[in-house]
Structure formats: C-alpha cells, structure tokens
Amino acid sequence: MNHWLLKSEPDTFSIDDLAARPKQITAWDGVRNYQARNMLRDSIKKGDTAFFYHSSCKVPGIAGIVGVVKSGYPDATAVDPKHHHYDAGSRPDQPTWYVVDVKLERKFSRVITLDELREHASKELADLALLRRGNRLSVTPVTSKNWNFILTLE
C-alpha cells in the first residue's frame, strides 16, 4: 500500500465538499499534467491512502486523509465538451487523462500547515516532494516514513 498527496484548491473543492458528497466519494478529476496523469493511471491503487492538501488559500496545508477506492480510469470530464476541463485533444477511445476515486477517511482536527511541514524540510521531511523547490505537481508520492511522521504532527 502506497501513500500520496493530492492538492486541491478549497475554493474549488475542499475537504468539506468531499464530506458532503454521497458516500463521501469523488472522482479526482481535472488533472491535466502528464506526470500526475501517469501516477493516476499507473501507480495509485485501490487501498492506497492520500493526504488531502489545500493549496492556493489562506492557510495552505494538509486537511485530512482520503482512501483510494477505485484505481485509475479515464477522466470523463476530458471528453465532455460542456465541461470546463474539456480537452479537445483527448478521444474517448484513446483516453489521455485519468482519475481515481477517493473516499474521505478522516478530516484532521486541524490543518497541518505548510509552514509546519517546512519546519521539518531539512530533516524528517527532506524527501517530501511537496516541499521541494518549485514543485507544482498536484499529485505526488509520500514515503511511509514521511506519512507516519506527518501523522504525529496533528
């Protein structure tokens, strides 16, 4: 079982939005970056867990944990012309973009802020992709060591 970190802008889709979904499940759609796509398609598997990260907001940080309940499958929003994530270059028979389904596992009692994570950037969290300079990937892997350490920060 592997661990991941998924970014979302809470103004668009927050952990509370996920909590309000039927069965607290959503397709993690709209990812339009090939590196991130590869992880959604090939690496992230049912049973994996991921941090739900709030980005581009007042207090960026990890808001909780989701579980992957369905492995990668084609992103329907990519081939829906009415959808704002529509990609004219993606064909239904040869999907370019993928999603996984995630289910809310737990909302943290408080957000573990980016600032806090940074305090450990040179030690415990030295290999956390999120903290690497210039990282903009919306889907990144998290080692078990990092995962467990971050859980102790809550």
Partner DNA sequence: GCCAACGTTGGC
Q: Does 137 bind DNA (CB under 7 A)?
A: yes
Closest CA relative to residue 101, chosen from 139, 77, 67: 67
> Does residue 90 contact residue 96 with C-beta atoms inside 8 Å?
yes
Q: Fill in the per-residue mask, 20 to 59: x = in contact with DNA (CB under 7 A), - = not in contact.
A: ------------xxxx-------------------xxx--
Closest approach of Cβ 23 to DNA, in Å? 26
CA distance 100 to 11: 21
Q: Does 9 bind DNA (CB under 7 A)?
A: yes
Tell me which of 3, 48, 60, 71 binds DNA, using CB under 7 A.
60
Q: Does 7 bind DNA (CB under 7 A)?
A: yes
CA distance 4 to 65: 10
Work out the end-to-end distance of the chain between its first and last CA atoms, rounded to an integer number of angstroms: 22
Per CB under 7 A, residues contacting DNA are 7, 9, 32-35, 55-57, 60, 89, 114-115, 133-138
